[in-house]
Structure 1
Amino acid sequence: MNRKQKKELRRLLSTRQLMGIDQLTEHGLKTAKGELVFYLLSPDNLSVLSSDGVRNRVRALTDLLRGLDAAELLALDSRESFQSNKNYYQTRLEQEEVPAIREMLRRNMVHLDGIQSTTASAREFVLVHRIDSKSNGDYSSLKQLEKRIQDCGFHVRMADEQDVKRLLAVYYQQDVTTEHFDRFDGEGGVRLNG
């Protein structure tokens, strides 16, 4: 297949096909290599724990993950990054000669730093549990894994369909602002007019 044919073939594929996703499931997605189940994790009361307490929780989770056949951890930003804006202001600051505009650019950079520091802990941790296509991942074993993670001192819940769509949007597009994702293009417009 030549380059032009490959390009035409890619143009005809859906977004899911391009990403290698066969379908969304109740708590994850299916690919050709099996099903992925997503667990949303957040540590519990880290600010009041001693460094040894934090270390013990991390160790317990590490030991749990070592015992799993196939698991991956994702750490995603759950907020916007202002780094490109800060880089732009810095470049403009270096080029600008008018003192009033230089001061305005400097204040904008300080403002962005303030926003960034107040949301510094806005990270989202996701455990991705891979289930072989040969083995049927029954719901009870998925709930047992959720309970075992809770026993390590973490808040955890299996992702729902909207969570999965949001995670994909953050991973592929760095879109942290969309709150609801439609199942089909134009679904929101049909609902408004219906």
Structure 2
Amino acid sequence: MHYYVRGDSLRRYKVLICKLKNFVVKMLPHRKKILVKRGFTLIEVLCSITVFSVLFMTALFIQVDALKVKTYNEEMNNCTLVMEYVKNSIMYNCSYDSLLNLRMKERTYIDCSNLKFQHIKNINVTTLFSDEKPLKEPYIILKVTGEKVLRVNLQLHAKMYGNIKVEECDFYKGNYKK
């Protein structure tokens, strides 16, 4: 809307503008309160949704990490049991000659990634060894040194949180009498 102001009507125009300003000023505080309450309610809802989603995601990540740790512990327990079974089988069931045979054929690796402790109890331990190094962890390395008294070293190589950790076990097997 355009107003053309001439002479005396300028004064009327200024009075009208002052009246409009006073009216707007009187209406404005009431409108501001309404707008502030609506905006604050929206911000409150958004903040509560954000806090809830952050808490939910934190709980979800904790559960996923707990599951990863549980599966890792089960795998490490299985590998440790396999290594202990191999050690006991070599110590009590393998002959001196079969150990020398393994050393001559350089069959020194056991791939533990697919082995379960329950399944290998009935298998001869010397059949588990191969001459090819497994491509990924976990695996066991057999090192036999010595002549009359053999020093047997078992090393379990396992990946632990991105790093390769090695557990070792040494024992002696010999062609000797007490």
Provide the TM-score with structure 1 as the length reference.
Answer: 0.22
Structure of larger gyration radius: 2
Point out which structure has higher relative CO (alpha carbons under 8 A, 6+ apart).
1
